[in-house]
Each structure stands twice: as structure tokens, then as C-alpha cells.
Structure 1
């Protein structure tokens, strides 16, 4: 009885989502402890995190301030810029069009790349690029004659009932303010850059873990898109040493780890996010902060371990 009352209290507090595992399950408490360790003080900027199972949020919480000027706290409803975690939507948009045979001129494109004399033949070496994703967004616009944010809304966000928007604007309702920290002082961060394709998806961690279920179901894009995401992934070396991972491979807008889990990080304008999906694609984690938190990547791994073991 006490366990059931405690679970109801956590649901009402917004710490555990309805449908989470019930009596005797301490995963919510352990997850909250991970967030407290990541954000020791609730007086400054902080982080929000969420865990999803098969498209449903089973745990989410926030800690710290979304806006220091007003004292608005970070909650599970606080909106963040997901930074480079937005790249997967750009990549998937291109795969979607390719699956519909909307993209032509592949040979000409490869010829143009070779004429530019790249350092290595395509597919041989990894080089992270923001500008290429900006260009891909414009390719989608050119082919579909639709603004890229509108295309994502029509093809991904609305069909999956996701409360997401692609917008580089800073005045998205409910959005956190991001900060730079120096010697204990926090300064609001902003940028004059308003491009999209490499970033600019605005949403909550809870919505992002709901999106993750498409990597299991293929509801958008089908098996062809799911195969295209990881097919031909290229080694990125030891960029994941912070998690004790020797090597990962970069696929289409996402990293593929040796155990077949998916992961990506994002850093932009003081926003820092980590997104991870379990090897069996049933569990997903998102952690996002409005100030640099060096351990947010590790925290995401800890949360995934809690909810998959």
C-alpha cells in the first residue's frame, strides 16, 4: 500500500509518468539521484531528463532554473534547443525522400564531390560537419518546394504527435534561457546565427524520447529508413572515451556504438544535450542542460543502465 501511495505521489509531482513500473520499483528514485548528482544546486541553471519505453515516457524530471532573472524552474515541460541532436531529423528527411525516389542526380553529386578533391574518398573517413546539414536542409526545400521546418512538421512531428518545432528563434514559448558560466557567474548566451538543418529543434526531453521509438517501429520511413540510418556507418575513433567506449561509428545523423545502441550529443548557445537509445531500441534517454554540465553524457548512460537492467 505504501509503495502504491509513493508511486502516486511521484506521478503527481511529475517525476514518474503514468504507466511507469509500480510497486517495489526504485528506478524513479535512482534516476532522481542521478539528476541531483548532475545538478547539485537548484539555485542556478540546470538540466532536465526523461526516459522512454516503447514510445511512452516512464520517468522525467527537471532541476535548476530555466531563467535566472525570473526564477522560473526547470520542469519536465521546459523547452530546450536540442542542438546537434536535431541533425537526425535532417538526415531522416533525406532518407525519406530517397525512399520515395525524390532525389536524383546521385552520380553527378558524387562527381562534384570527387572534383573538389576531398581528403579521402567518400565513405572512408569521418569528418563532422555542420554546414553539410545546413545544405541538406536546403536540398529538401529545393526538392519539396516546402520550407524545411514545415516539411518536418508535416512528415515527422504531426504524424507522430510530437510537440516539437524546428525554429532558430529564441522566443519559443516555455523555452529555457541558456547560460555561460565563468567563476561562478552566469551570463545569458545567444547567437546571431539563424540557420537550421544542423540544429534548432525545440522541444522537451520527454518528447525526444517519444520520438526515439521510431527507431524501433519505423513508423515514419519504414525498414528502408531504419537500415539507412546505420548502413555504411564510419568509425569516429575514440571520441567517446568519457564513457569508457573505445570506438563508435557515425551513421546518418546518429552514432552507432559497438553494442548497437544509438547516441548523439548536441552543444549550441549554452544548450547541451545527450540522446541515447538502447540496443534493442525499446528504451531511450534524453538529458539536456541550459549550461555546460560536463557529466550530462555520463548521466545519460547511467539512466539508460537503470532502466534497462
Structure 2
């Protein structure tokens, strides 16, 4: 009898409520087949699930709930989904095709977490050395002192190709490929304002476009196939893929906040720095895999989650494919944000507590980055003292918190989030 009662309590703990455009669906841990290779976790109690869900719901009600947010949000602890919501439509203009758990969003710079870890996987396998010069792998690369590590931690000194190529004569009617990024750098490096390597941090998409080429060179596979074979398929990330021009008919477009569509442009085919499409549930699987003992060696993760840039004091830093807050109380918040066209994404990981906060949107809703404040419900991450991530546009970094409505929280919750789904 005691065993039956215990089983019932565990089953209750595994359930939480998610909403797909205000329709309730059952959610909880991932399917057994998806978690076979993941670490065992202590089930949350019904009281813990209720607490986390209430806290997340209240926070989103006062932030995203007051906007036109079009996207998905998932919060999980110990592999259990404690909050999940899908709001809006694939195309917010037509209000058709509701966003669902299987709707993949452009991850923008969150894609760098896959590129970085793919590089580190090849390092673990002895197929490359991150201390090697880039010229060892990319023929004609002209810059001495630039290593794979300085690409990973954004200390190469190479500026953003998405800034200088268009300004230096690239025909914007022609799509740029990753090889074009390399070839243009080789042909124009004396004209490009390149800094001395390893002198300071300078966030640059060029670094990760080049890393994708190195992954291809070393693995012998197209980048999209390497990620699929190495990460997506083994982890059951069925709705995740690397965009190429062959996917032009199926990708989800992005929009301005006014619902005007962003046009496809000459920069949109480069991958490694961006162009992974995924869902909140698949990103939960990615987080859980990285939590698993021996999925990556501890020494590798220690390198990935270490800060490398201390020229300026502060809590912000960058590892190998990951941003982080190195807090005064000793805590580390491992994360990456993204912004590309109307795609804004947040992926915050509390590795000590095995908790993750994920928010994805495709309509340029800048308040998606405020989900990081939810970190404090899992531990003392001091988020009330931080502003927006510093890799986001200036207007986001300076954005003020939205004013609270005079309506009671309960009334706001019952009206705003439902109306958001209808817009």
C-alpha cells in the first residue's frame, strides 16, 4: 500500500500544465526513450512544481504578458517541465498555424552553443587541438596568432563579417556562404580593421562562421550533417536542424514587432554563428545532455564554462561557446542570448541546480531577455541587479522595465495573455 501511495505521489509530481494558445496540454519529463542517456533526477514534489509554476507565471504576466510576444517559453528543473507555454502563430499576420511544441525557431546566436561544443567534441576525440593556429585547418588563412581557442572565446581580433563585407564592396544581391567569409577575409585582411589576437574580448560572428568551416574540414561532413549525427539524432532532437538554402520553403520567417516580415537577405545563409532552428523542448534535451556526467568530459566543460576576458572588471564574461555571469557570491549563470532579424532567443542554464529557462520568439519582442530574472527562483543569481545581456542591440540594453498596470495581477493574467495569443 505504501508503495502505491508513493507511486501516485511521483506521478503527480511529474505533471505540470502547459498551454498551447490557451489550450492545456500535459507535460513533464521527456519521454523515456529521450531520457535513456540522461542522468537520473529526483522528482519534484507537487508543492515544488506548484511553487515554480506560480513564480514563472507571475513573472511572465508582468513582462511578456504585456507585449505582443509571439513564441514559446519553457522552464524546467531536474529534467521536469514546470512551466511551458506557446503563444501566437507561425505567421502573426494571418493568424494561422498556431505555434506548438514542434514549431522550430531560428535560434540566432544561441546556435553558437552547438558550434562551440561541436568543436570541443572534435578536440576530445583528438581530431584537432584548440591551441592550434587556424591556418593549420583553413588553407590561406592569413592571420598569425589566431588559434581555434581565440575563435571560441571571441579574442581573435577579427570584426564581424556581417558589418564589413557589405561595407567593403560585397554584392548584396549575392548570398554569402561560409567559404565566402573566409575568402573575403583572405583577400581583404589588410583593409579590414583587425586587432591583435588575444588582447581583448570582441564579440564577432566571423569567429563562429570560421569554426563551422573547421568542423567541416576535420569531420569530413557538412556542418548540418555533423550536428545531426553528433547531437540532434542521438539526443532525440527531432525538430532541430541547421538551415541551408534547401530549407527555404520550410523555415519559419521572422517579423518586426509591427508584424511586417523581415526580408531574406544576403547574410542569411551563413551558419555556425546562427542558423540552427530548434524548439524549447529540444533545447531542454540539449541542456540535459550537457548536465549528464561524461557526455562531455568534466575538464572540457570546465574549459567551456571558464571566463577568458578580464581586461575590464565586471560579472559578464565569455567561455568557449557560452556567455556567463560570474557573480560575486560564487555562482555562475551559463547562458546565451540571440538576435537575428525578428528572432530573439534566451537560453539560461543554472547548472548547479539543473534548471533551465528557455524563451524563443520570431516577432522582435525585446522583453524575451527578461526571462533571465527567473534564475533567482532556483538560487541566488542576483538577477535583480543585472541589465540585459551585452551582446544585444543598444536599444535592448537600455530598455526600461515596462510599467505595471493599475489592474490587479489576477485580472491582468486572465486578460492579457489570452489576448496576446489572439493577436
Q: TM-score, normalised by structure 2?
A: 0.61
Alignment correspondent of 1:226: 301
Alignment correspondent of 1:63: 87
- Tell whether the 8 Å contact from 2:254 to 2:363 is kept in structure 1 after alignment: yes
What does 1:150-165 correspond to in 2, within 5 Å?
150-163=225-238, 164-165=240-241
Alignment correspondent of 1:119: 195
- Tell whether the 8 Å contact from 1:256 to 1:263 is kept in structure 2 after alignment: yes
- Tell whether the 8 Å contact from 2:16 to 2:83 is kept in structure 1 after alignment: no
Distance 1:106 1:278, change over 3 A: closer
Q: Distance in 2 between matches of 1:236 and 1:215?
A: 29
- Tell whether the 8 Å contact from 1:14 to 1:76 is kept in structure 2 after alignment: no
Among 271, 276, 297, the alignment partner of 2:369 is: 297
Q: Distance in 1 between matches of 2:296 and 2:114?
A: 12
Alignment correspondent of 1:262: 334
- Tell whether the 8 Å contact from 1:264 to 1:276 is kept in structure 2 after alignment: yes
Alignment correspondent of 1:190: 263
Distance 1:130 1:8, change over 3 A: closer
249-258 vs 161-170, greater mean Cα deviation: 161-170
Gap regions ≥5 residues in structure 2: 1-10, 30-43, 136-141, 147-188, 381-423
Alignment correspondent of 1:242: none
**Are 1:88 and 2:163 an aligned pair?**
no
Q: Distance in 2 between matches of 1:51 and 1:186?
A: 27
Distance 1:177 1:26, change over 3 A: farther
- Tell whether the 8 Å contact from 1:15 to 1:61 is kept in structure 2 after alignment: no
User: 1:30 offset after TM fit, Å?
Assistant: 3.2
Q: Distance in 1 between matches of 2:133 and 2:51?
A: 56
Give CA-to-partner distance per residue, 1:234-269, whole Å, 9 cap, x none. 24858xxxxxxx521101111121121201110012
Gap regions ≥5 residues in structure 1: 239-245
Q: Count residues with an aligned counterpart.
A: 293
User: 1:227 offset after TM fit, Å?
Assistant: 2.0
Among 146, 169, 179, the alignment partner of 2:221 is: 146
Alignment correspondent of 1:10: 17
**Are 1:100 and 2:107 an aligned pair?**
no
- Tell whether the 8 Å contact from 1:271 to 1:289 is kept in structure 2 after alignment: yes
Alignment correspondent of 1:51: 75
Distance 1:107 1:168, change over 3 A: closer
Alignment correspondent of 1:250: 318
3-state SS of paired residue (1:274) = strand
**Are 1:306 and 2:330 an aligned pair?**
no
- Tell whether the 8 Å contact from 2:63 to 2:370 is kept in structure 1 after alignment: no
Alignment correspondent of 1:178: 254
Q: Distance in 2 between matches of 1:247 and 1:180?
A: 31
- Tell whether the 8 Å contact from 1:271 to 1:288 is kept in structure 2 after alignment: yes
